[in-house]
């Protein structure tokens, strides 16, 4: 089957919110193939503990590609304990220059509770403005909703949950079955 004929894996929504001493990453559970929902309870947000440091990562894109990136990130974190920014930059450099990794189709949102980053295959390590990041097919909806709630008295978790609910109401590739991981500092 030619690439143009393949319906492709679509969608997910991952939202990261940093507010009031906590960072939350929330992800929906839907996996779609074309117009068909294949699974509704996938876990796209994971807790990593390389070298005893608590890291939370959420991924959008191809699952196998995302797991490859998570393994690589964990390796980088083991080499640079407690230095999330450095590990993300090293991963992004490898991702951009390694011919195998260049073909991976995924994005990550990662946090250690202090910092929040989006890591892309274009070699970007982005620290989001307004302490909110979102990726995936419903990412723009979740991002807009979360930003609108940042000046309220809502907690990071509430902002993430409500932003994900709004995204799942709008994006057909996002459901309301959430996985949420939180780091409080």
Q: Is residue 1 part of a domain?
A: no
Helix (H) or strand (E) holding 144: helix 139-149
The first and second tokens of residue 25, run together, are 């990453």
Mean pLDDT, residues 67-85 taken together: 91
pLDDT band, residue 1 (cuts 50/70/90): very low
Report DSSP state, residue 13.
E
Determine the pLDDT at residue 10.
52
Mean pLDDT, residues 175-180 taken together: 97
CATH number, domain with residue 61? 3.60.20.10
Q: Is residue 183 part of a domain?
A: no
The first and second tokens of residue 55, run together, are 């890291």
pLDDT band, residue 142 (cuts 50/70/90): very high
Task: Specify the residue for token string 């993430």.
Answer: 160
The first and second tokens of residue 173, run together, are 């590739």
Q: Is 145 helix (H, G, I), strand (E, B) or coil?
A: helix
Q: Which residues are catalytic?
A: 12
Measured in whole angstroms, the distance separating CA 109 from the mean position of its chain's CA atoms is 4
Each residue's pLDDT tens digit, 151-169: 999 999 999 999 999 999 9
| pTM greater than 0.95 | no
Q: Is residue 61 part of a domain?
A: yes
Determine the pLDDT at residue 28.
97
Mean pLDDT, residues 30-47 taken together: 91
From 37-41, 55-59, 67-71, the region with the lowest mean pLDDT: 67-71
Sign of the CA dihedral running 85, 116, 144, 45: positive
Mean pLDDT, residues 84-95 taken together: 92
Q: Is residue 38 part of a domain?
A: yes
Q: Could you give the CA distance from residue 75 to residue 51 in angstroms, rounded to a whole number? A: 10
What percent of the chain has pLDDT above 70?
Answer: 94
Q: Is residue 117 part of a domain?
A: yes
Model confidence at 6: pLDDT above 80: no
Quote the number of domains for the chain: 1
Alpha-carbon distances of 176 from 19, 44, 134, 150, 164, rounded to whole Å: 22, 13, 15, 21, 7
Sign of the CA dihedral running 122, 150, 87, 126: positive
Q: Is residue 31 part of a domain?
A: yes
- The DSSP secondary structure of 42-92, one letter per residue, reads ---EEEE-GGG--EEEEEEE-HHHHHHHHHHHHHHHHHSTT-HHHHHHHHH
Mean pLDDT, residues 63-78 taken together: 88
What number of other Cβ atoms are within 10 A of residue 36's Cβ? Answer: 9
Q: Using alpha carbons only, give the angle 101, 107, 111 rounded to the nearest 5 degrees.
A: 115
What number of other Cβ atoms are within 10 A of residue 118's Cβ? Answer: 21
What residues make up the domain containing 100?
9-173
Q: What is the mean pLDDT of the chain?
A: 89
Each residue's pLDDT tens digit, 104-125: 788 899 999 999 999 987 788 9
């Amino acid at each position: 089957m030619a690439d143009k004929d393949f319906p492709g894996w679509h969608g997910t929504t991952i939202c990261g919110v940093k507010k009031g001493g906590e960072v939350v990453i929330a992800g929906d559970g839907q996996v779609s193939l074309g117009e068909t929902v294949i699974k509704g309870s996938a876990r796209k947000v994971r807790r990593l503990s390389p070298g005893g440091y608590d890291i939370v990562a959420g991924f959008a894109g191809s699952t196998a590609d995302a797991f490859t990136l998570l393994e690589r990130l964990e390796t980088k974190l083991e080499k640079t304990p407690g230095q999330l920014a450095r590990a993300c930059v090293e991963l992004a450099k490898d991702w951009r220059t390694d011919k195998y990794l260049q073909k991976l189709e995924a994005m990550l949102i990662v946090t250690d509770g202090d910092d929040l980053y989006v890591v892309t295959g274009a070699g970007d390590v982005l620290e989001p403005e307004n302490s909110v990041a979102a990726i995936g097919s419903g990412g723009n909806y979740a991002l807009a909703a979360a930003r609108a709630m940042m000046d309220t008295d809502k907690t990071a978790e509430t902002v993430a949950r409500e932003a994900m609910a709004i995204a799942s109401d709008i994006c057909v590739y996002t459901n309301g079955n959430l996985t949420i991981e939180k780091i409080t500092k």
